[in-house]
A and B are shown apart, each in its own frame.
Chain A
Amino acid sequence: MTRRSLLASAALLITTVGAHARVVTKVLPWRPNEAYPVPPISPGGYLFFTSGEAAVVDAIVDRLIPADDLGPGGKDAGVTVFIDRQLTGPYGGHDWLYMQGPFSLTPLPSQGLQSPLTPRQQYRLGLAALASYCNATFGGRGFAQLNPDEQDKLLTGMEKSEVKLPGFDSRMLFNAVHTNTMEGYFADPIYGGNRDMAGWKLVGFPGVRYDFRDVIDKPNQTYALPPVAMQGRPAWGEQN
C-alpha cells in the first residue's frame, strides 16, 4: 500500500448490476506486475510420450529436419520435447476448437479439419499403428531401428497416403508430426524447441528484438545482430 491512495482501483469493482461481468468505467484498468507470459517448459523427461514413443518421434523429426552443416536436426533442436509439452496443453486436446458433432466421414477438402481426434489421440493411436506396421513389415524392427533410407522411404509413403497403417490414416500422422516439427523448430525456444535459436539461425530471423528501423534505413544489407528470444540471448549474461 503506497502512501498515496489508489483512487483508480474503483475501475475494477464488480457491481451488483450485471453481477458477473467485468465492469470498466472512469479509468483504464491497470495493476502493477500484471503480465501474462508463457511459463517456460519444465526441462527434462517427457510428460506425454512414453520413452518408446519419444524415441520414434525423435527419429522422425531427425529425418524431417536432418542434422547437417547448416545446423542441428530436429531431435537436437528439441522438437520432440516441444511436441511433448504442446500435447499436454490446450492444443493437445483441441480445447479451443469447435469439437461438437456430428463429425462427417466425407468432408470436402475445402472444409478443412473435421476429425474428432485430438492431437493427443492422433499421436497415441498413430504411433501405435506405426509401431504395429513397422513390426510386421520390417521383421520386428521399430521405426527408430530402421536405417535413414528406409525411414525416408516410409515417411514419403505416409506423406502421400500410399502406406496403409493398421487402423490409422498414415497421412494424418505424417501431417501432425510435420506441422508440429516446423512449429517446434522455429518457435521461440521457451517452448522447448529451436534450441539455441538454431531454427532462427538457419533462416536468419533475428527474433523478438521489436525494432528494425535500422534495417529499413539500410536496405539490402546483411543484418549483423544475433537473434534474441523472449528469454534473451547469450549477451544478456545468463544462459537459458
Chain B
Amino acid sequence: MARRLPRKDVVIVGLGWTGSILAYELARTGLEVVAIERGPWRDTATDFNIGTAPDELRYAVRHDVFLRPKQETLTMRNNPSQTALPIRKWGSFLPGNGVGGAGVHWNGQTWRFLPNDFRIRSHMIERYGEGFLPEANHIQDWPVSYDELEPYYDKFEYLAGISGKAGNIKGDMQPGGNPFEGARSREYPTPPLKQGYAQELFTKAATGLGLHPFPRPSANISAAYTNPYGCSMAPCTYCGFCERFGCANYSKASPQTCVLPALIREPTFEARTDSEVTKVNLSGDGKTATGVTYVDLNGEEWEQPADLVLLCAYGLFNVRLLLLSNIGKPYDPGRNEGVVGRNYAYQTGSGSTAFFEDAKFNPFAAAGSLGAAADDYNSDNFDHAPHGFVGGASITCAHTNGRPILYHPTPRGTPTWGSKWKKAVNETYQRVTNVGAQGSVMSYRNNFLDLDPTYKDPLGRPLMRMTFDYQDNERKMANWMAERCDEVAKAMGAKATQLNRLVGPWSVVPYQTTHNTGGAVFGNDPNTSVLNRYLQSWDVSNVFVMGASAFPQNAGYNPTGTVGALTYWSLDAIQKYLRSPGPLVQL
C-alpha cells in the first residue's frame, strides 16, 4: 500500500532536458515542484571526471551511462504477424538514465525542422496529389506552424548556446548559412565550430555540385558562453568522446551545464532521484490526475499527490506510462482505432564511405556535432515527382569520433581478422571519411507501440512492445540519398567509395539513432492524437506530455531542437492553464 506524501503543486516525471526546463521555469514562479527521476544524480566533475570520462569500453561499449535493460527495456518485432522479443541489450537506440537523461550523452546536433515539415501532409497533397503518399500511411500535419514555433526554437538555442551560422534572418539571406532554413529572428548565440579537413573537402565538392553546404549547428559550443539562466559553458576541445559520454569540460549543452545550477537554487524545487514512477494516478472518473505513484530504492511505494503532472521521461517511456496509467485510448492497428502508441516513427541512415589515397583525416579530433551539411535533399526542397517517394534527408560529412574499439574501418570485403585485416586497419584509419544521409520516416498504420503480452519488468509491469519496420517509401528514399552522398564523396576526390544502403528489415543490433518519435502525438483531432496542440492530454487536462513522442512523424533531422522548442511552447500554455485550469482546446 503506497504511503501518501505531502501535496506538491507540480510533479515532473524524469529530470532530463524537458523536465529540468519546466522545473526551473515553474519553480521560479514560486510553485512547489518535485522532479522524480529513476536514475542517479549526475554531475560534471564527479561523474564525467576528465580522467574517467574518456573510456570507450566503459561508456560506448558496456553502456555505463545508459538505462540498464534489466531495469526497463522494450520488446520488438518488425510487423504484427511476428512475436516480439525483448531487446536484451541496446543496439539500435540507447535510452538515457539519470539526471540529465539523454542530454548527458547526446551528440548535440541541434536542428529546426523546416517550415514544410510542419504541414507536410497538406503540402504534399497540394504538390503531388494524395495518391503520391505511401500506402497505409498515417502522415499528419503538425498542429503548430514553424512561424509559431520560431520564438521557442530561439529560446532553446540560446539556452544551449548553439554554435552555428544563420542562413535566413527575418528573410535576409545570409551567406554561409543554410538557405533552406525557416526564417529565424537572429543569429546563433555562438559562431560555428571550426571545420576539419574532411568538412573542407565536402564543402568544396558539394558547392561544385550546386549544393549549399553550411556548418552543422552544434551544442558542443565554440566559445565561452553564459546563457539567460546565468549558467556558464566553456569551448569544445574536439576530444572525440561526445556521444555516449558525459562531457568533462562544460562544453556540451546539457541539463547539467545549462539548467541545473540555476534550478537547484530555486527554494521551492526538490529532486528525488533513484525513484521510479510506476503510474500516474487518476480520480475515480479518470478525468483528473491526482499525482503519481513511485517506487524507491528499497522497493517501497509512495504516492506523490500534485495538481499538475508533467511527463518528461523520454518519449518512449512517456508512452508506456500513459498506457500503464490508462490515459487515452490505446491504439489498435487491426481496427485502426485509438491513439496511444499510434504513429511511432524513427530515422533512416544511409550514405557513402569514401576511401582516399592519401589523407590525414585525424578522426579522433572530433565533436559530436562537427560536420558540414547540406539540405538540398531534405524535406520537399527538391521535386519528388520523378522519384516516387516522400520525405528527405540532411546530407552531412562528419565523424563524431575515432574511438578504435568501434571504429577501425576497412574496405568492404576485407577479412574481419588476421594479418590482412591488421594491415587494412593500419592503412585505412586515417584515409577514410563518409558522407551520410539522415532521413525522415513517415508514420504508418503498422508501426506502433503497445504493451507486450508476455514480458515484464522487475516490478511486474508489462514491457512496451515496439512494432516497426522501414517501409518501401523509406528504403527508396534512403537508397536514393545514398547515391546522392556517393556523388559528393566522389567529387571530394575519393579513390573509391562504398555505398551504404538501407537493406533488410530494421534490426535492433547495429546502432542507428536514438530518435524514437511518436506514440503520444499532438494534433487538432482527438481521433488521431493523444495531446492537443499544447501537449496537453485530451483526456486528462492536468497532464502534459513532453518529448519527441509528440511528433506525428519524423523529419530529416535530429529531434532535440524541436523537443526543446515544443517544451517552451508548451510552457506558455501550462502557465495559462495554471491561471485557469481546464482543457486549453475546446472542441
Check: A235 CB closer than 8 A to any chain B CB.
Answer: no
Known: A21-B296, A96-B68, A186-B408. A28 touches B77 (CB 8 A): no
Which listed residue (A25, A95, A212) contacts B239, Cβ 8 A? A212
Interfacial chain A residues near B43, Cβ < 8 Å = 28-30
Known: A152-B418, A206-B364. A219 touches B56 (CB 8 A): no
User: How many whole Å from A50's CB to the nearest CB in chain B?
Assistant: 24
Check: A136 CB closer than 8 A to any chain B CB.
Answer: no
User: Residues 11-27 of chain A: 1 if any B CB is under 8 Å from the residue's CB, otherwise 0?
Assistant: 00000011111111111
Task: State which residues 160-192 of A face B: CB under 8 Å.
Answer: 178, 181-183, 186-188, 191
CA distance A210 to B361 in the complex (A): 17
Which listed residue (A17, A63, A202, A210) contacts B50, Cβ 8 A? A210
CA distance A104 to B197 in the complex (A): 48
User: How many whole Å from A20's CB to the nearest CB in chain B?
Assistant: 4
User: How many whole Å from B365's CB to the nearest CB in chain A?
Assistant: 4
One of A106-114, A121-129, A138-146 at the interface: A106-114
Known: A18-B296, A210-B50. A64 touches B365 (CB 8 A): no
Q: Which residue of A lies closest to B47 (CB)?
A: A36
Which listed residue (A29, A70, A104, A223) contacts B422, Cβ 8 A? A70
One of B158-166, B268-276, B337-345, B371-379 at the interface: B268-276
Known: A109-B507, A110-B507, A210-B248. A97 touches B88 (CB 8 A): yes
Flag if A216 contacts B298 (CB, 8 Å). no
Known: A66-B418, A211-B237, A213-B238. A186 touches B69 (CB 8 A): no
One of B57-65, B471-479, B576-584 at the interface: B57-65
Check: B85 CB closer than 8 A to any chain A CB.
Answer: yes
CA distance A217 to B362 in the complex (A): 12
Flag if B264 contacts A28 (CB, 8 Å). yes
Check: B86 CB closer than 8 A to any chain A CB.
Answer: yes
Which listed residue (A25, A71, A152) contacts B264, Cβ 8 A? A25
Check: B426 CB closer than 8 A to any chain A CB.
Answer: yes
Which listed residue (A24, A27, A183) contacts B405, Cβ 8 A? A183
Flag if A110 contacts B50 (CB, 8 Å). no
Task: State which residues 81-106 of A face B: CB under 8 Å.
Answer: 91, 94-100, 102, 104
Flag if B271 contacts A24 (CB, 8 Å). yes
Interfacial chain B residues near A47, Cβ < 8 Å = none
Flag if A35 contacts B52 (CB, 8 Å). yes
Flag if A107 contacts B85 (CB, 8 Å). yes
Flag if A24 contacts B264 (CB, 8 Å). yes
Which listed residue (B6, B83, B241, B364) contacts A104, Cβ 8 A? B83
Interfacial chain A residues near B194, Cβ < 8 Å = 213, 216-217
Which listed residue (A19, A23, A36) contacts B46, Cβ 8 A? A36
Flag if A187 contacts B405 (CB, 8 Å). yes
Flag if A210 contacts B54 (CB, 8 Å). yes
Q: Which residue of B lies closest to A91 (CB)?
A: B62
Check: A53 CB closer than 8 A to any chain B CB.
Answer: no
User: How many whole Å from A228's CB to the nearest CB in chain B?
Assistant: 10
Known: A34-B46, A37-B52. A205 touches B273 (CB 8 A): no
What number of B residues sit within 8 Å (CB to CB) of A? 98
Known: A35-B46, A66-B422, A212-B239. A219 touches B196 (CB 8 A): yes
Interfacial chain B residues near A182, Cβ < 8 Å = 405, 408
User: Residues 170-208 of chain B: 1 if any A CB is under 8 Å from the residue's CB, otherwise 0?
Assistant: 000000000000000000000000111100100000000
Interfacial chain A residues near B151, Cβ < 8 Å = none
CA distance A100 to B71 in the complex (A): 11
Which listed residue (A19, A34, A110, A186) contacts B506, Cβ 8 A? A110
CA distance A95 to B274 in the complex (A): 19
Flag if A230 contacts B271 (CB, 8 Å). no
Flag if B50 contacts A18 (CB, 8 Å). no
Which listed residue (A25, A152, A222) contacts B360, Cβ 8 A? A222
CA distance A152 to B416 in the complex (A): 12
Q: Which residue of B lies closest to A177 (CB)?
A: B417
Flag if A210 contacts B241 (CB, 8 Å). yes
Flag if B404 contacts A96 (CB, 8 Å). no
Check: B260 CB closer than 8 A to any chain A CB.
Answer: yes
Check: B261 CB closer than 8 A to any chain A CB.
Answer: yes
Check: A154 CB closer than 8 A to any chain B CB.
Answer: no
Q: Which residue of A lies closest to B405 (CB)?
A: A186
Q: Which residue of A lies closest to B358 (CB)?
A: A220
Interfacial chain A residues near B425, Cβ < 8 Å = 202-203
Flag if B57 contacts A191 (CB, 8 Å). yes
User: Residues 145-163 of chain A: 1 if any B CB is under 8 Å from the residue's CB, otherwise 0?
Assistant: 0000000100100010000
User: How many whole Å from A94's CB to the nearest CB in chain B?
Assistant: 8
Residue of B200, B274, B426 ringed by the most chain A CB atoms within 10 A: B426
Check: A38 CB closer than 8 A to any chain B CB.
Answer: yes
Q: Which residue of A lies closest to B264 (CB)?
A: A28
Known: A30-B43, A104-B83, A104-B85. A23 touches B271 (CB 8 A): yes
Interfacial chain A residues near B361, Cβ < 8 Å = 220
Flag if A38 contacts B417 (CB, 8 Å). no
Flag if B271 contacts A63 (CB, 8 Å). no
Which listed residue (B272, B404, B423) contacts A199, Cβ 8 A? B404
Interfacial chain B residues near A38, Cβ < 8 Å = 52, 55, 58
10 nearest A-B pairs in the assembled complex, by CB-CB distance: A212-B365, A219-B197, A215-B365, A208-B54, A110-B507, A21-B272, A20-B296, A187-B57, A186-B404, A203-B429
Known contacts A111-B87, A181-B417; can you find 11 more A-B pairs with CB under 8 A?
A: A17-B6, A18-B296, A22-B274, A25-B267, A26-B265, A28-B43, A94-B88, A97-B88, A108-B77, A110-B507, A188-B57
A-B residue pairs in contact (CB < 8 Å), sample of 27 = A22-B41, A22-B272, A24-B41, A25-B269, A36-B52, A70-B422, A96-B62, A96-B70, A97-B89, A102-B454, A107-B85, A108-B82, A110-B505, A111-B85, A111-B508, A112-B89, A181-B417, A186-B56, A187-B56, A203-B408, A205-B364, A207-B54, A208-B55, A210-B239, A215-B365, A216-B194, A220-B361
CB within 8 Å of A: which residues of B? 5-6, 36, 40-41, 43, 45-47, 49-52, 54-58, 61-63, 68-70, 73, 76-78, 82-83, 85-89, 91, 194-197, 200, 237-241, 248-249, 260-261, 264-265, 267, 269-275, 296-298, 300, 302, 304, 359-362, 364-366, 402-405, 408, 416-419, 421-423, 425-426, 429-430, 454-456, 504-509
